[in-house]
Amino acid sequence: MRFVAVLLTFLLACASAQAESTRLLKYDGGEIPSPYWFKDSFLDLADDVEEAAESDKLLMLYFHQAGCPYCYNMIQQNFLDPQLAPFIQEKFDVLALDLWGDREVVLPDGTELPEKELAAQWKIQYTPTLIFLNREGEISLRIDGYRPKPVFLQILDYALSGNTGPGLAQTLIKSSGDEMYPEPFILETRDLSSLKGKLTAVLLEYPGCDDCEALHRNAIARSSVYDQLEQYQVVRFDATSDKPLTLPDGRSITPAKWVAELGVTYYPTTILLDEFGTERFRVGGYVQSFHYATALEYVSRKGYEQFPEFQRFLNDRADRLRTQGSKVVITE
């Protein structure tokens, strides 16, 4: 428990300080080695959960894929961090699963299926994705996408606290009197039902959010992203606000309650709505411009109809751009 107290002290310091940089490290596209202490498993999750419980640990499933720069960041900046690594080893068994893998996984209910089919069944659209299983083998927490170290610290503490309700998103909000990053193209409306008939991008942020500002500076500011955003009506809501908004179905709700309903666990999150006001995709993790632009195109081109897995559309788009003579750098 002393280590947890130290961790919480460090976490409070992080909350009051500037968040560390979320820039992506470059990676060459090959296999990303896992730490030696990741669990060597027969992939029978019921057994893995039981073995973790016997050691007073929780089971963490880590979905990854070769060439994923966000997975590389997760390994280098979180799993191999000298402060975090001993704590993770003490409190979690980490099991790596390949998004496109063929190894057979046995679920706690006895269902057997390959890694890639499990990823499709669980609708894993980002790597890395973390799935935390409780002592009963049930999913207690899911984190889609890369999280920088200060946020990852909070996630680990939250996973261990036993509180697995939708309040996680609220615990990640740091109070601040700062304004949100200014963008002239954001519509001043709180009525999403009035925007039907055209694609809509809903930005969920909060004042003083470092990663929110990084999204605007590092991704949205690029012409490749802005060109895609021109096909959308863009609105933004402060996730801490109690000022009601109107959803596409006409229901009135505060942003704070809406993000809880949505299960948002990271800011910024972008919700992409089709012309009928139906959510088609969301960007709920830290991404660079190529991935963000691809997500926008995924909905604008109805890519989800041909490619239910976003990663397949991402690869297809990269191939199309290369065929057109464009240079594709997924870490920019």
Q: Write phi, then psi, for 275 (nearest 5 degrees).
A: -70, -10
The count of C-alpha atoms lying within 13 angstroms of the C-alpha of 76, restricted to the half-sphere facing its C-beta, is 13
Q: How far apart are CA 324 and CA 314, in angstroms?
A: 15
Which two three-digit tokens encode residue 7? 């961790």
The model's pLDDT over 254-276, given as tens digits with 9 standing for 90+, comes to 999 999 999 898 899 999 999 99
Residue 31 pLDDT level (bands cut at 50, 70, 90): confident
d(CA 110, CA 187): 49
Q: What type of residue sits at position 164?
A: T
pLDDT in tens, 291-300: 999 999 999 9
Tell me what pLDDT residue 4 has: 40
- What SS3 state is found at 263? coil
Residue 183: burial class (beta carbons within 10 Å; 0-12, 13-18, 19+): middle
User: pLDDT tier at 124 (50, 70, 90 boundaries)?
Assistant: very high
Least confidently predicted of 100-104, 137-141, 325-329 = 325-329
Q: How many angstroms separate the Cα of 227 from the Cα of each of 63, 73, 142, 329?
A: 31, 28, 32, 17
Q: Please choose, from the candidates 142, 146, 144, the residue with its C-alpha nearest in 3D space to the C-alpha of residue 158.
A: 142
Per-residue model confidence as pLDDT tens digits over 69-82: 999 999 999 999 88
Rounded to two decimals, the pTM is 0.78
Residue 169: per-residue pLDDT: 56
Residue with tokens 């994923």: 68
- What digits encode the pLDDT tens for the residues 230-245? 999 999 999 989 999 9
Higher pLDDT, 18 or 108: 108
The predicted structure's pLDDT at residue 10: 36
C-alpha–C-alpha distance, residues 324 and 317, integer Å: 11
Share of the chain above pLDDT 90, in %: 64
275-293: pLDDT as tens digits: 999 999 999 888 889 999 9
pLDDT at 15: 39
Reported residue count of the chain is 332
CA angle 138–142–147, rounded 5-degree value? 150
Question: Across the strands, what pairs with 233?
Answer: 200
